[in-house]
Amino acid sequence: MSTQGGTSAPFLLMAVASAVLMGTIGVISKYVGLSAETLTFYRLGFGAALMLGYLLLVGQARLLLIWPSWRVLANGALLAAFIVCYVQAMLYTSMANAIMMVYLSPVAASVVAHFLLGERLSSAGVGLILLALFGFAMMMEFQLSFDSAGDATGMAYAALAMLAYAGFILMNRIMPARVHAYTRCWYQLLAGALCMLPLMWQQGESIASAQWGWLLLAGLLPGFLAILFAVIALRELPAATFGTLAYMEPIAVVTFGWVLFGEALNTLQLSGCALIMGAGVAQALLNQRRERTARALLAQNARCRQKATAESA
């Protein structure tokens, strides 16, 4: 259900806040001084604990007594894989390179959905995919060489993060409708944290008191508040509106990288960022139009069946 008029303003702000808070994980990863495995575990683990506390506070903890399905748990593993690879990528290459590679995930998901889920790509959809790929080529300044071995490693991790996130997107499309959004979110956070637990233990890191502060922030900002705001906003805003506002995340990440770490982009790279984000926004709007057309067709078919039933009675 979408809100009408000025009442949508708080939910628009929540959607923007969710996107910006998601982008803070890059800043935290650079300041915390811990491995990607440890940071990912605490982001997901603290996020799950805070989500549980919120549900207890609002009297909805009963939602967690429902079996979420194996697909939800598998998606938690994909979420963990995405986060740990994304954090690793930002430890080796620039935040802008990492986030723009990740935001090719909807492109990859659309291609897979075309072949496996029967979601046929229109000519406009194909054009937007090519536009996003061209934007990425601009980000790479039309060359496959890297300034350092670290950049190459970082982009390899970013590619893995992109594939994991594309899988996360596709898995969300086939989730059981009976599973509440809060149930799905909590079990995904919990499953992801449990997947990271042995990898975190393997690091054997000692955590200083200052680092605990950063880990708590990772659980609070991108781990809990960003997800809570997203769930609330999605209940009230059209999917395309939320999907468009989600592109505030790469803008925030590029801005954080520039302001805090001096990771400036040249004109060609900034133009590439704009193409990738523009293609993503257009894809969200195209999906909304396709869904609206499908709903109208279903409603028309239902009316035709009712009319035929009435005439035969």
pLDDT per position as a tens digit, 102-161? 888 888 888 888 888 777 778 888 888 888 889 888 887 887 667 788 889 999 999 999
Is 264 inside a domain boundary? yes
Furthest CA-CA distance within the chain: 77
Gap between the Cα atoms of 179 and 95, Å rounded = 34
Is 75 inside a domain boundary? yes
Q: What mean pLDDT comes out for the span 296-310? A: 77
Give the CA distances from residue 266 to residues 35, 80, 96, 236, 263, in Å, rounded to whole numbers and listed in that order: 30, 32, 12, 38, 10
Is 223 inside a domain boundary? yes
Q: 5 pLDDT exceeds 70?
A: no
Q: Number of folded domains in the chain?
A: 1
Q: 4 pLDDT exceeds 60?
A: no
Give the CA distances from residue 136 to residues 88, 160, 186, 201, 268, in Å, rounded to whole numbers and listed in that order: 20, 16, 33, 36, 10
Is 9 inside a domain boundary? no
Mean confidence (pLDDT) of the chain:
87
Give the CA distances from residue 302 to residues 69, 204, 294, 311, 312, in Å, rounded to whole numbers and listed in that order: 31, 61, 12, 14, 16
Is 2 inside a domain boundary? no
Q: Give the Cβ contact number of residue 95 at 10 Å.
A: 27
Is 178 inside a domain boundary? yes
Is 6 inside a domain boundary? no
Give SS3 for 265: coil
Of 33-37, 198-202, 234-238, where does mean pLDDT reach its minimum?
234-238
> Where in the sequence is the domain holding 136, given as residue range(s)?
19-312
pLDDT for res 240: 62
Gap between the Cα atoms of 121 and 275, Å rounded = 19
Is 10 inside a domain boundary? no
Gap between the Cα atoms of 174 and 68, Å rounded = 13
Q: What mean pLDDT comes out for the span 261-271? A: 90
pLDDT for res 219: 96
Q: What mean pLDDT comes out for the span 15-34? A: 93
DSSP classification of residue 237: S
